[in-house]
Structure 1
Amino acid sequence: MSLVTAVPAADSALALRHFESLLGFETDCWDVHDALANAPHDFVLLDVRSHALFEKGHIAGAVSLPHGKIIESKLAPYPASTVFVTYCAGPHCNGAIRGAIRLAKLGRPVKTMPGGVTGWLDEGFILETGGAANSD
């Protein structure tokens, strides 16, 4: 028996509920890219890294709002129903989760994009450079 099978796989019905529920919490780089390029813009993409990192390279169309600066007054321009998608540097960074927690505590709908900048680049997509879309 390997370490993979030492703990049995979950029952299929439980696995289905678990994996379906994950899509309520996260999206991926490909779906975000496709939505930004083709679909109606029905979410706000938040780069929750520092403004300095945002300026060095970010996803076109993203708004710079570091996770530690997510407060109600910064969200005032957005209707309460606005879905936010947070991203940070990549899978080695928990900033997207920190941002999602802050948004959820403020009662805002939120998903994370777990791959972040690393995943975006891995998919072959490009980053934009330049100033932060929001300021402190």
Structure 2
Amino acid sequence: MSNAVTALPAAASAEALRHFSVELTFQTDCWDVHEAIASGQPGFVLVDARSPTLYARGHLPGAVNMPHGKIIASRLGAFPADTLFVTYCAGPHCNGATRAAIRFAGLGRPVKLLAGGVTGWLDEGFALVTAEMDRTQSI
């Protein structure tokens, strides 16, 4: 019996392996970001691509606020060229993180997208911080 799931056959295992392996070079998940932050040496800059107002209401710990439209070369001068940036926005319904990732990549910077964004973070049971709790500045 055929249905929407089985109507098209799955990719060959070798092709699926290539596809899913490459996918992880473009994104990471909330649990891995949380663990990296907790280690004290995450190895990346976490970028909240939402508006300053939404950032102030609650953001991921250690994140800097850099709305995607404000990502320009002159703002990145303080970061070494090989700095990895991990972008996020509100969640799967928001494309701000993707727009930010496009800006970073267009400037020749390494970048990954945080799958799930704020929604995914909260779904994992992790807390947000507010501007008053976290003295991280916008850049």
Matches of 2:22 and 2:100, distance apart in 1: 20
Matches of 1:85 and 1:101, distance apart in 2: 12
Q: What residue number does 1:16 align with?
A: 17
Matches of 1:113 and 1:41, distance apart in 2: 14
Runs of 4+ with deviation above 4 angstroms = none
Q: What residue number does 1:106 align with?
A: 107
User: 1:95-134 residue pairs with structure 2 within 5 A?
Assistant: 95-130=96-131, 133-134=137-138
Q: Partner of 1:24: helix, strand, or coil? A: helix
Matches of 1:40 and 1:12, distance apart in 2: 36
Q: What residue number does 1:25 align with?
A: 26
Matches of 2:41 and 2:102, distance apart in 1: 26
CA displacement 1:38-87 (0-9 Å, x = unmatched): 15221000000001100000011000000111000111110000000000
RMSD of aligned residue pairs (Cα, Å): 1.1
Query: For the Cα contact (< 8 Å) 1:96–1:114, is it kept in 2?
Result: no
For the pair 1:49 / 2:33, whether they are aligned, the reply is no
Query: For the Cα contact (< 8 Å) 1:43–1:85, is it kept in 2?
Result: yes
Count of equivalent residues: 135
Q: Partner of 1:85: helix, strand, or coil? A: strand
TM-score (norm 2): 0.94
Query: Percent of aligned pairs with the same residue?
Result: 62
